[in-house]
């Protein structure tokens, strides 16, 4: 999770794990930081997915997202 304002390094490592990012459109701070990470990861050639959808950070939001994350991670 890129929460808390943790920013990507100026130079990304050569080996980057697959990354799944999602943020709710109603959580502006988190969405901005997740987008910052998505751009850095994409520019570094990482296998990543960034999704924005309506909602805020919380149990219901993640309860709906969890099956989608698992399908992305293990659905190959």
Give me the residues of the chain with pLDDT under 50, please.
none
Contacts of 51 (CB under 8 A, 6+ apart): 21, 22, 23, 68
- The residues with which 48 forms a beta bridge, in sequence order, are 19
* pTM assigned to the model: 0.86
pLDDT of residue 57: 80
Query: Which whole-number Å values give the CA distances from 67 to 10, 70, 75, 76, in the listed order?
Result: 32, 5, 11, 14
Nearest-angstrom CA–CA distance, 60 and 66: 10
């Amino acid at each position: 999770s890129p929460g808390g304002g943790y920013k990507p390094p100026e130079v990304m490592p050569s080996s980057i794990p697959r990354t799944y990012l999602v943020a709710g459109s109603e959580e502006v701070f988190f969405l901005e930081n997740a987008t910052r990470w998505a751009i850095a990861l994409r520019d570094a050639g990482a296998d990543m997915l960034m999704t924005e959808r309506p909602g805020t950070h919380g149990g219901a939001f993640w309860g709906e997202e969890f099956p989608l994350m698992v399908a992305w991670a293990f659905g190959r």
